[in-house]
Amino acid sequence: MNDPPAPTMSNDDVPLQFVKFAKILGIWIQDDLKWDKQINEMLKKTNSRMYMLRTLKRFGFTSDELSVIYKGYVRPLLEYGDVVWDSSLTCEQVNSLEKVKKGLQNNTWQEIQLIY
């Protein structure tokens, strides 16, 4: 069975383009209302910033300094917009986020006070 044709939408007689996903106020919205793109982008950014924290640790930053940087620079990535997408995540997506959070609490980060 074929899907019905998409309705044509316009703004001031200019047709709007249909897209697979769009970033609105920092949150990726997909046309199928799933959160794969949002979660993948969050994990990419978080991993990048965690690399920065590991580098700062090697340069001798104290646990308190690393904790402040983490709370201000990394944790907001994991929490931004969660009221929008959190309740509709798949188990796989939840596990991906939990894996990152648990990775933060491994031996490398035990001395940093990471509060969730």
Token look-up 């047709």 returns 15
**Contact between residue 42 and residue 78 where contact means Cβ atoms under 8 Å apart:** yes
Residue 71 is predicted with a pLDDT of 87
**Tally of CB atoms within 10 A around 46:** 19
Residue 108 is predicted with a pLDDT of 54
**Contact between residue 31 and residue 21 where contact means Cβ atoms under 8 Å apart:** yes
Residue 107 is predicted with a pLDDT of 47
Tens digit of each residue's pLDDT, the chain (116 residues): 677 677 778 888 888 888 899 999 999 999 899 999 999 999 999 888 888 888 998 999 988 888 888 889 988 998 899 899 888 999 999 888 888 877 666 645 555 555 44
- φ/ψ of 10, rounded to 5, equals -145, 160
**DSSP β-ladder status, 27-30 and 21-24:** antiparallel
**Contact between residue 18 and residue 6 where contact means Cβ atoms under 8 Å apart:** yes
Residue 37 is predicted with a pLDDT of 95
Nearest Cα neighbor of 26 from 82, 99, 96, 98 is 82
Residues with Cβ within 8 Å of residue 111, at least 6 apart in sequence: 63
Nearest Cα neighbor of 87 from 11, 35, 41 is 35
pTM: 0.75
